[in-house]
Amino acid sequence: MSIEPVPVSTGDFSLYIAYLAHYKKFRFCTIENYLEVVKHLHKANGLKDPITDNWHIKHLLLGVKQDIGDAQVGATVVTPNMLLMKKKELNLCRLYDLSIWVACLIGFFGLLRPGNFLLKDKHTPILRIEQIGSIDDGFSITFHKTKTIQFREKQLSVVIPQITGHPLCPASALYRLLSLHEILGSNGKLPLWCESVIKSLDYENFISFVNDILANAGCGDKVTGHSLRRVGATFAFQAGLAGECIRYLHVEK
């Protein structure tokens, strides 16, 4: 938009705040985190804080806080029973339904946000078939870019375990999806998750479809982009995985 970020003008900074609040629809705590980056950029360049001494910006933020509130809302608890409820509503012989199911399991067991592996906008990397590797007792998924790996400075490998005979086994579901891709003649460059043979599974469609399934099953809760990751971590802790291990997995993604 050809806007000079440092020093930022009061008008441009006001538009940025409005963009975060009403276009991105962020919570107030998230908006505050984004504005900290602007403050840091100014401090790093020897400039004064663009918020503290600016009457207009301080009162604009008060208005935003009044408008959208600052209450913290936790992610919906996605229990194993809820996953099983979803499974009953899906036709796992269909590419779309199977993609939805595998995405749920990988998000849950891999402690991943759907935004890490589903198409969200033109800047979101698509998880491709070639990023899946076979290992002993499961699969590994190699991520080149996530929220905390934005410049391909390293790779992240996530293990998808084999839980033999369990209805929630993520490796078995992933194997079934890869087998279906092989039958359809998909090559390694194509997206792993698909709405059809020519269309990648969209993030918004995924969240909407999952919530529709839960509603049809009589569940009033709605999942968000963080539900699977957060609750997968809680489930791992309850199952006996050390907190240090969970923290390591969680922070990396």
pLDDT at 133 over 90: yes
HSE toward the beta carbon, residue 221, CA cutoff 13 A: 14
pTM reported for the whole predicted model: 0.72
d(CA 21, CA 41): 21
51 and 174 both lie in a single domain: no
| Whether residue 54 is found in the same domain as residue 24 | yes
Cβ-count burial 160-197 (b if 16+ within 10 Å, e if not): bebeeeeebbbbbbbbebbebbeeeebeeebbbbbbee
Banded pLDDT at 77 (limits 50, 70, 90):
low
Structure confidence at residue 9 (pLDDT): 92
**48 lies in some domain:** yes
Percent of the chain with pLDDT over 70: 89
Do 22 and 93 lie in one domain? The reply is no
Is 217 in the same domain as 241? Answer: yes
Distance CA 131, CA 22 (A): 36
pLDDT over 70 at 240, yes or no: yes
pLDDT tens readout for residues 135-159: 998 999 998 777 666 666 677 888 8
- pLDDT for residue 74: 59
Going by the DSSP 8-state scheme, the letter that residue 155 receives in this structure is: -
Q: How far is CA 9 from CA 37, 52, 83, in A?
A: 15, 14, 49
User: At 129, which CATH number?
Assistant: 1.10.443.10
Any domain includes 5: no
What's the pLDDT score for residue 250? 54
Residue 57 has pLDDT above 90, yes or no: yes
Q: Is residue 83 within 8 Å of residue 100, measured between CB atoms?
A: no
- What is the extent of the structural domain holding 48? 10-68
Give dist(CA 164, CA 138) in Å, integer.
Answer: 10
Q: Are residues 152 and 33 in the same domain?
A: no
> Residue 241 pLDDT > 90, yes or no?
no
How many independent structural domains does the chain possess? Answer: 2
**Residue 196 counted as domain residue:** yes
Is residue 26 domain-shared with residue 119, that is, in the same domain? no
Is residue 56 assigned to a domain?
yes
Element (H, E) at 129: none
Same structural domain, 163 and 201: yes
Whether 75 maps to a domain, the answer reads: no
